[in-house]
Amino acid sequence: MIFSRKTDYGLRALMYLAERRARGPVTLSEIAEKLMIPKAFLSKILQQLAKKGVVRSLKGPSGGFVLAVEPAEVTLQEILTEIDGPTRVFECFATEADCTFYSDCMMREVFGEVEDQIGAVLARYTLADFRYTDKPADSTAGKA
């Protein structure tokens, strides 16, 4: 599986942050709770994203995370790369010496093509396409 839970968590968190952008930093706890993501784990993901510059993190009280990019400006491909590293479909593990096919390998070619196609799809979407809409007050909680 190319895209893991981490991918999912990270992307969802970014969607959430995109929505709250205007309203200042959002705490880890809030995101984790609303999105039902294990807090400690999400923390790691967000830290990573912070280092890559996708989000900004503010310490101290009234701190939290803020999206640092324009949602429509960052492609899904970029995001996934920052979370999971470049999308690798296959990696040739041999060298010229231990693979008969090395010098003219069809597989490397085809798998390269596959990777390109994936990239192409992923590049067509931006974070702005992934909208978070707040739940309309949980139905089990009596409202009316």
Partner DNA sequence: CTGAATAGGACCGGTTGGGTCCGCTTTTCT
Partner DNA sequence: AGAAAAGCGGACCCAACCGGTCCTATTCAG
Binding site for a second copy (CB under 8 A): 1-3, 5, 7-8, 11-12, 15, 34-36, 76, 88-93, 98-101, 106-107, 110-111, 113-114, 117-118, 120-122, 125, 129-132, 135
Partner interacting with residue 28 (select from ligand SF4, DNA, a second copy, none; CB below 5-8 Å by kind): DNA
> Shortest Cβ distance from residue 129 to a second copy (Å)?
7
Q: Which residue from 17, 4, 1, 134 is spatially nearest to 74, judged by alpha carbons?
A: 17
> Shortest Cβ distance from residue 38 to DNA (Å)?
3
List own/partner pairs for 110-115 with CB under 8 A and 24 or more apart.
114/89, 114/90, 115/87, 115/88, 115/89
Q: Note whether 17 binds DNA by CB under 7 A.
A: no
Alpha carbon distance 41, 38 (integer Å): 6
> Shortest Cβ distance from residue 60 to a second copy (Å)?
28
Partner interacting with residue 47 (select from a second copy, ligand SF4, DNA, none; CB below 5-8 Å by kind): DNA
Nearer to DNA, 90 or 125 (CB): 90
Nearer to ligand SF4, 4 or 58 (CB): 4
Q: Note whether 59 binds DNA by CB under 7 A.
A: yes
HSE value, Cβ hemisphere, 13 Å, CA-based, for 85: 4
